[in-house]
Amino acid sequence: MHPAAKSGEELAKELRYEATRSTGPGGQHRNRVATAIRVYHLPSGLTAMGTERRSQLENKVEALFRLRRKLALQLRSPVDDELLAAPTLYQPPEAWLRRLRKGRISVNPTHEDFPALLATVLDRLAADQDDLERTAAAFRVSKSQLIKFLGLETAALGGLNDRRQERGQRPLRGH
């Protein structure tokens, strides 16, 4: 299972948190109290920070969400038989199917499920060697809907466009 898709309890076993003082605007409270949170994903070495809030707990939630997004973007799960299945046989995650309405995916990029969905799509896209039509069929959406979904995370669409450019293909634009 991709780390971005793990439950909070499962992922917590792979994390270390550190509270630090934050710099920048926010007044005396921000500079006196260690409210900024840095979270480390030990297996990958990836880190993320939450500093915007005056509450350590709120910053911890934000740091964890940012880490899940980084994990989704930067780590690919090993290709297994399920990912290699023909698009018509592939079973997208339940969280994806719940958001699917008449071939359109509806998900907010700030929703807690977004990193897990993004990781799943990027894993399948990697298994399909960036074949957008094949990946879109596996997730039961059109190619344009898949591009729109990837466009919700600029770095995801940017990575795909970088790989397309290396192959001499034109870049895609999110909607």
Q: What is the pLDDT along the chain (175 residues), one digit of tens a residue?
A: 889 989 888 999 999 999 887 665 555 555 566 788 999 999 999 999 998 888 889 999 999 999 999 999 999 987 677 667 788 888 899 999 999 999 899 999 999 999 999 999 999 999 898 999 999 999 999 999 999 999 999 999 999 999 988 988 888 886 6
The DSSP call for residue 172 is P
Nearest in space to 154 (alpha carbons), one of 97, 109, 92, 99:
109
Q: Of how many residues is the chain composed?
A: 175
Fold type of domain 3-70:
Double Stranded RNA Binding Domain (3.30.160)
Burial (CB count <10 Å: 0-12, 13-18, 19+), residue 68: buried
Return the domain boundaries, the chain.
Answer: 3-70, 81-166
Q: Give dist(CA 23, CA 20) in Å, integer.
A: 10
| pLDDT at residue 77 in the model | 84
